[in-house]
Amino acid sequence: MPFGFPHISLDVTGHFEIMVGGLFSKVNRQSIIIAVLVAPVLLFTLYCRATKVPDLPSDEAAKLLSQAPEFNRYARLVSVGALNHPGDSMQGMAEGEFTFRYLNAPSKSAPIQADAQFSYWDGAWHLGQFSYGCPGVHLDDCRIVHVYNDPPKEQ
C-alpha cells in the first residue's frame, strides 16, 4: 500500500481502524457520526463569518470623505449624519448624509447638506460618490461627484 493512502476497516468491536502511511488509529462509530453532523455546521458558520459585511462606522465614513481628493480639494467636512446599511443583496452598500463648507466660504456660512454612497470590497469600505444640491428647486443645482478608487482585486 503506498504511503499516505488510507486503509479503513471495521473490527469486531465496532471500531473503525484507520491506517494512513503506517500510522494506526481506532475510531468508534459515534465519533464518525458526530464528525459528520458537526462538519456542515462548522463549514456554514465559517462561510457566514467570511461573507459578513461590517457596518460602516460614522468616523470611518468621515475619514473616507475627508481623504478623497475629489472632496478635500474644495471643501471641508463639518459633520457626518445618519448612515443607512441596506440589507439582502445590497449588504455591501451604505448611504450616508453629511454636511460641508467650501474652503473659501465664511466660517459663519450655513453648511451644505450632502449625501454619500459607500461600497464594501476587498475587506474595506470605499467612498463611491457624493452629491449635493439634489433634489433642489432647480436641477441645475445638483452636483454628483464620482470618486476614483482602485479596482477590486480579482477573487
pLDDT at 78: 96
pLDDT at 5: 63
Tens-digit pLDDT profile for residues 89-138: 677 899 999 999 999 999 899 999 999 999 999 889 999 999 998 876 56
Tens-digit pLDDT profile for residues 42-94: 665 555 555 678 899 999 999 999 999 999 999 999 999 999 988 766 778 99
| Sequential DSSP letters for 78-129 | EEEEEEE---GGGTTEEEEEEEEEETTS-TTSPPEEEEEEEEEETTEEEEEE
- Domain boundaries along the sequence of the chain: 7-50, 58-146
Q: Sign of the C-alpha dihedral, residues 131, 136, 139, 140?
A: negative
- Tell me the pLDDT band of 9, cut-offs 50, 70 and 90: low
pLDDT at 133: 87
